[in-house]
Amino acid sequence: MTPELVVHAVPPFSLSGAAERVQRDAQALLDGPELARAQAMEPASRSRFLAGRLAQRRFAAELLGVRGSRLVAAYSCPRCGTGPGITHGRPGYLLDGGPAPLVLSLSRAAGWTLLAAVAGPPDSCRLGVDVEDPARTGFDGFPALALTHAEQQVVGHLSGGALLAGRARLWARKEAVLKMTGDGLRTAPSSLDVLQRNDVRDLLPAETGLPARLAAAVALSWAVPQPTGRGGRASS
Ligand SMILES: CC(C)(COP(=O)(O)OP(=O)(O)OC[C@H]1O[C@@H](n2cnc3c(N)ncnc32)[C@H](O)[C@@H]1OP(=O)(O)O)[C@@H](O)C(=O)NCCC(=O)NCCS
C-alpha cells in the first residue's frame, strides 16, 4: 500500500512580538539540545530555527495524536550518528522511549517552513522535502556547481525569472533527494540527475500553501530491498 504523504507549509512570522513568543514557546516545548544549538546562532537565524522546530514538533504531535511535550527529538547525522546530543541531520522523534512511527522532513526558505511526513511508514520508508527561493540561484557559478550537463541543457535556453525558477525547481528536487537518502550535500549536487527519477516530484503551491514564486519538491521511497541472490533482483 502506498504510504500517505502529508505536507504543510508554515508562513513567516511577522507580527510584533512574534520572536519573543517563539522564544517562550521554544523554552516550554523544545528539548535541551535543540535549545543549546539555537543558542549558538545569531538572533534572526535563531528565531527561524526555533520556529521551524516548533512547527515540526506540533505537526508531528498532531499526526501522532499525542501532546508535543511527549516527543523527544532524535536526529541522525551521516557523520556523527545518533544519540541524545545529536540535534542535526535527519529529523525524527522518540515517543515513550521508542522511535515515533513517523518519517519527517523539513525545509526553510524565505521565512517559510515546509514540512512533510508519512505516519505509520513501512521500515524502508525514506522522505525528503525542500523549498527554494529562486532569487538564491541567480549567481554565475550555479550551473557548474549544481547541475548535471543534461540539466544545464534543459534550463540553458531560459532567461530572467524563468531561468531562476527553472534552476530553483531542479535544486529543490536535488535537496529533497539528498535529504531522502540522508547524504545531504556530501554528495556533489552536480553529480545527481533529477530529470528522470521517479522517486522525486515537484510540489505545487495548491498542495503546500506556499507562494507560487517558491519552488518545492518531495522525494519519497519505500522500496523493500529485493534479495540479490539466485532468483532475486538488486534493488535500484
Ligand atoms: C540537508 C541539506 C541539504 C539541507 O540544507 P539547507 O538548504 O541549508 O536547509 P533546509 O532548510 O532545506 O533543510 C534543513 C533541514 O534539513 C534536515 N537535514 C539536515 N541534514 C539532513 C540529512 N543528512 N538528511 C536528511 N535531512 C537532513 C534537517 O531537518 C534540517 O532542519 P534543522 O535546521 O531544523 O536541523 C544540508 O544542510 C546538508 O547537506 N546537510 C548535511 C551535511 C552533512 O552531512 N554535514 C555533516 C555534519 S557533521
Concatenate the DSSP letters of all residues of 24-54 into one string.
HHHHHHS-HHHHHHHHTS-HHHHHHHHHHHH
Q: How confident is the model at residue 91 (pLDDT cuts 50, 70, 90)?
A: very high
From residue 18, alpha-carbon distances to 12, 41, 192, 200 in Å are: 10, 18, 39, 34
3-state class (DSSP) for residue 161: helix
Q: Is 201 exposed, middle or buried (0-12, 13-18, 19+ CB in 10 A)?
A: middle
Cβ of 106 closer than 6 Å to ligand 1, yes or no, is yes
Cell matching residue 41: 546562532
Rounded to an integer, what distance in angstroms lies between the CA atom of residue 221 and that of residue 236?
11
Task: List, in sequence order, the alpha helices (H) in the chain.
Answer: 18-29, 32-39, 43-64, 142-146, 149-156, 160-181, 205-208
Rounded to an integer, what distance in angstroms lies between the CA atom of residue 157 and that of residue 181?
31
Q: How confident is the model at residue 229 (pLDDT cuts 50, 70, 90)?
A: very low
By most ligand atoms within 8 Å of CB, the mutation choice from 93, 102, 107, 171 for ligand 1 is 107
Rounded to an integer, what distance in angstroms lies between the CA atom of residue 162 and that of residue 180?
27
How much is the pTM? 0.93
CA of 184 to the centre of ligand 1 (A): 6
Q: Which domains does the chain have, with CATH numbers?
A: 1-121 (3.90.470.20), 122-226 (3.90.470.20)
CA of 206 to the centre of ligand 1 (A): 25
Question: Among 25, 126, 155, 37, which residue's Cα sits nearest to residue 86?
Answer: 37
**Ligand 1 atom closest to 91 (CA):** 29
CA of 131 to the centre of ligand 1 (A): 12
CA of 229 to the centre of ligand 1 (A): 35
Cβ of 175 closer than 6 Å to ligand 1, yes or no, is yes
Q: How confident is the model at residue 222 (pLDDT cuts 50, 70, 90)?
A: confident
Query: Residues of the chain with pLDDT > 70: what percent?
Result: 92
Rounded to an integer, what distance in angstroms lies between the CA atom of residue 74 and that of residue 101?
12
CA of 11 to the centre of ligand 1 (A): 20
- Local structure of residue 134 (DSSP, 8 states): G
pLDDT tens readout for residues 166-210: 999 999 999 999 999 999 999 999 999 999 999 999 999 999 999
**Ligand 1 atom closest to 182 (CA):** 24
Provide the pLDDT for residue 200: 97
Cell matching residue 93: 522523534
CA angle 68, 70, 71 (to 5 degrees): 75
By most ligand atoms within 8 Å of CB, the mutation choice from 57, 75, 88 for ligand 1 is 88
Provide the pLDDT for residue 226: 47
CA of 227 to the centre of ligand 1 (A): 31
